[in-house]
Structure 1
């Protein structure tokens, strides 16, 4: 018997080691794996292992369908197939509300119970993402539905990437010492995202010894970075959250920060000046400029960015400047001559610059072999 998947004919009678078949199946799409699982018992075993090794689920919750059905069905399937629990390496679950028909406040408690029951069985997890949309909240002191309910008691010694969060409203944060205990139990964690945690984390100094990237609020970052080898930092919230108290603490990493992403906040020039004062060794900077606070009031269009020169001169190692998140309405479309003039001007202020991306996605690279030194990358 043969099956046609992804334009490739697969013959189950071909004698190959299971490891070879597994390597082939790992490069196929989930839909192809489902087809192959029906070819033979042999293929079903291999395809099932590949399907359950990486789980990516997106549930859209609405008023007519407030329960994350895909998540619930996966949980029920995992509880029936206990032999697959040690195979799951990546689990990414995202719940999001239908904007046209938002759901009831929370899904049934049975979903939380099933999800928490399954997640704590996945001891081989290497990557975990839980984004529970509008559901991370306490209904009352007796009824709490949060991410902490799911991660409590979990032990993931191999986890290297973790992302936790929900849609956040001011004053509606329900993280406790459970989160702290969970993070302390992850000895090999390298990458951490806490999208709705907006206060300091009280972790012991020996926790997360290998953390290299973090994405979260300035207050959380200021408490987490000191003493840890974080080199890539992405901040969320408002630019005024990056204040004189928490910004200096971000400099006490055990290795110098190399990359700073400010694309999730509208950054005013004052913030960039403060960043250049405390973090002058940044090599990669991605920023969403607040152009209502223009950098150069006498200029219009792309030339209003000329005022960045006064800020860039403080960065002595900056190599990549990415302005692509900046709102295009405030800049106006520029021609290549204007962009080239800015590249030249900024390079004088910051000689280490080698790559610049403007709000309209045009990319320029430094080329010492051309008369103009800067060349436009042709897409």
Structure 2
């Protein structure tokens, strides 16, 4: 629809040129597929449209025997290298590689694209959001080699980066992270949100680095070394609930501001862990969890009433306002109805007076009104 309009603008008899700033404002509201057509109208439109198209790049390559090369990533990187003027326009770069489970990683050819991606990243200094999930790339590196992610980010500097997510699949013998990652993270002065999904050991970063970090997602052991002294309000843990223990949990308390949001939706959580968390992190206001239902609540109860045993646990959180149980699996276990859910809301709010919002495994949301009555959320 808009490509003909763009052509008419070019062929307009008016002698008043349309400023590039106005074109950019118009093009920013156009879908990417249409913007690609507009870029073909004329050279001037191409220059404006390309900067918008390359400002936000999200690529996913699914690798297999028939497609062992991440061609989408490779093609994009080669295009960027051919257009040096576009590099300063790139604000978001998200790359995800995944392997077709039927294809052994030995059949893949990832090294050339990794090298090209590294060349691009060194030049995109205005990045604000970076995601690198390099999938099976770490499988192809011999033990003692450099981790696949470190090969790509080594030597990069992103002074404007706000969000960063890094990782790759791993197996026994895969290279682990080294000082290269620590040096890279320490060089990000503006970083606010960090995800390290495959880092499971100590992370030694200078105390004055990452001074603006507000959220982290990763393992409990990495969190224990990253959180102290930093203004992290939001923590999302990955792994097993047994990974959160009395060795690392106390270190979560040393953030420079209170930890308010805790997401445990990727692990099966037993009530005993929640009690330990309440002991060390009484400032938690928002709790998102996936309960391990086979472990101890009330076996004498059935259906959704199985969750009644949470009352004593929730009572240990003096500041909890929101409880999200939606990640909890309900297959064949939790069948609920209106009366049961509202009954639990009342029971839990008596034990935890600060509670104002509950989301059940059924994904039904309940909110405590100003009149003290629980009602379904909008």
Separation (CA, whole Å) in 2 of partners of 1:159 and 1:356: 34
Matches within 5 A, 1:4-23: 4=2, 9-10=5-6, 11-13=8-10, 15-23=17-25
What residue is the counterpart of 1:45 in the other structure? 47
Report the CA distance between 1:145 and its aligned residue.
Answer: 5.9
User: Is contact 1:112-1:145 (8 Å) kept?
Assistant: no
Determine helix, strand or coil for the equivalent of 1:251: helix
What residue is the counterpart of 2:163 in the other structure? 161
Point out the more displaced range, 330-339 or 90-99: 330-339
Which protein has the bigger helix share? 2
Separation (CA, whole Å) in 1 of partners of 2:146 and 2:335: 49
TM-score normalised per structure 2: 0.94
Number of equivalenced pairs = 372
Report the CA distance between 1:317 and its aligned residue.
Answer: 1.0
Separation (CA, whole Å) in 1 of partners of 2:237 and 2:170: 15
Matches within 5 A, 1:235-314: 235-314=237-316
Alpha carbons of 1:145 and 1:285: their partners in 2 closer, same or farther (altered >3 Å)?
Answer: closer
Alpha carbons of 1:143 and 1:204: their partners in 2 closer, same or farther (altered >3 Å)?
Answer: closer
Report the CA distance between 1:143 and its aligned residue.
Answer: 6.0
Alpha carbons of 1:272 and 1:172: their partners in 2 closer, same or farther (altered >3 Å)?
Answer: farther
Alpha carbons of 1:42 and 1:273: their partners in 2 closer, same or farther (altered >3 Å)?
Answer: same
Instruction: Please point out which of 183, 186, 210 is paired with 1:184.
Output: 186
Q: Deviations over 1:20-57 (max 9, x none)?
A: 22122223222111111011222111110001111100
User: Is contact 1:364-1:376 (8 Å) kept?
Assistant: yes
Q: Aligned Cα RMSD in Å?
A: 1.8
Unaligned runs of 5+ in 2: none
Instruction: Please point out which of 204, 223, 233 is paired with 1:202.
Output: 204
Report the CA distance between 1:100 and its aligned residue.
Answer: 4.1
User: Is contact 1:231-1:256 (8 Å) kept?
Assistant: yes
Report the CA distance between 1:4 and its aligned residue.
Answer: 3.0
Alpha carbons of 1:143 and 1:198: their partners in 2 closer, same or farther (altered >3 Å)?
Answer: closer
User: Is contact 1:63-1:104 (8 Å) kept?
Assistant: no
Separation (CA, whole Å) in 1 of partners of 2:146 and 2:262: 35
> Does the alignment pair 1:365 with 2:367?
yes
Separation (CA, whole Å) in 2 of partners of 1:28 and 1:369: 46
Unaligned runs of 5+ in 1: none
Report the CA distance between 1:335 and its aligned residue.
Answer: 0.5
Alpha carbons of 1:299 and 1:212: their partners in 2 closer, same or farther (altered >3 Å)?
Answer: same
Separation (CA, whole Å) in 1 of partners of 2:315 and 2:103: 49
Q: Deviations over 1:123-163 (max 9, x none)?
A: 11111000011212463258656110000000111111100
Separation (CA, whole Å) in 2 of partners of 1:171 and 1:367: 55
What residue is the counterpart of 2:339 in the other structure? 337
Alpha carbons of 1:170 and 1:259: their partners in 2 closer, same or farther (altered >3 Å)?
Answer: farther
Alpha carbons of 1:307 and 1:172: their partners in 2 closer, same or farther (altered >3 Å)?
Answer: farther
Alpha carbons of 1:304 and 1:205: their partners in 2 closer, same or farther (altered >3 Å)?
Answer: same
Alpha carbons of 1:173 and 1:290: their partners in 2 closer, same or farther (altered >3 Å)?
Answer: farther
